[in-house]
Amino acid sequence: MATSRAQKIENTETLRQDLSEVPHAFLVDFEGLDVAGAIELRRKIREQQASFRVVKNATALRAVEDLPLGKVAEAFVGQTAIAYTAGDVVGLAKVLREFHKEFETPTFKAGIVDGEPISAEQFDQLAQLPARDELIAKVLYLMNYPVSGLVTVLGGLAAGDCWFVGDHPENDVRGAAAFGMTAVWITHSVDGHAWPADAPEPAHRISALSELLPLLGLAALPEVV
């Protein structure tokens, strides 16, 4: 039965409301994804506190007009689904990339991170960053070590909204900016403990583990069972 005009308007408004405050979203082509695969993919995405929604391109284009996703309007062709989150964008990217590696679907078409478009290459880079839980595990491992030990593990890596500056400060700070992340400098990470004059300023400078925890969204270290 044909969808009425009123129903189309309602569908558009519902989708628009769902996407209006979403900073991170990926458009994917789900060709070849069977019912069992779709169920499994949705489960993995829910585990990341993210959502996965198959859309009609015409409806989606009306819904994202004047929204950040409207910046990638040209990607709303063929079979389209939107994977989106207001939280851990790295975790969501990992799920999509790993699922594609195993089943050759879904395929990345376009995306936004912090409301700005990213390329397929940037998506792959994002998906290869350590997830927040991995980062916390590394911090737990190093909790009895000097702060300089954090540099060995975290320098040049990123997780969640943080990009940790390593031995290449200028590249790391610019990398953080490209992904809309917060550049964090552990002060032992550059020889001489002085910030290079030609490098952009980091958003945060830390010299103790306790200063790192709030950046990871932790009031204190999780209990180790």
Report the b/e string of 51-61 with b at 16+ CB within 10 A.
Answer: bbeebbeebbb
Mean pLDDT, the chain, rounded, equals 78
CA distance 53 to 188: 44
- Annotated domain spans of the chain: 5-127, 132-216
Residues 92, 99 contacting (CB under 8 angstroms): no
Quick check: 153 pLDDT over 50?
Answer: no
pLDDT confidence band for 78 (50 / 70 / 90):
very high
Quick check: 37 pLDDT over 90?
Answer: yes
Residues 110, 72 contacting (CB under 8 angstroms): yes
Residues 51, 96 contacting (CB under 8 angstroms): no
**Lowest mean pLDDT: which of 39-53, 79-93, 101-115, 118-132?**
118-132
Q: What angle do CA 67, 85, 5 make, to 5 degrees?
A: 50
Which among 20, 42, 46 has a CA at the least distance from the CA of 33? 42
**Per-residue confidence (pLDDT) for residue 128, from 0 to 100:** 82
- Edge-to-edge strand ranges of the sheet holding 107-113: 51-55, 80-85, 24-29, 107-113, 116-118
Query: What's 108's DSSP letter?
Result: E
What are 94-150's pLDDT values in tens digits?
999 999 999 999 999 999 998 999 999 989 988 887 666 666 665 555 555 444 444
Domain 5-127 has CATH 3.90.550.10: no
- Percent of the chain surpassing pLDDT 90: 46
What are 177-210's pLDDT values in tens digits?
766 676 776 654 444 445 666 666 766 666 555 5
**Per-residue confidence (pLDDT) for residue 132, from 0 to 100:** 65
Q: Which two tokens stand for residue 165?
A: 């500056």
CA distance 136 to 25: 24
**Per-residue confidence (pLDDT) for residue 183, from 0 to 100:** 72
Quick check: 71 pLDDT over 90?
Answer: yes
Phi, psi of 162 (to 5 degrees): -110, 135
Paired residues of 206 in beta bridges: 186
**Lowest mean pLDDT: which of 18-32, 38-52, 65-79, 160-174?**
160-174
Residues in the chain: 225
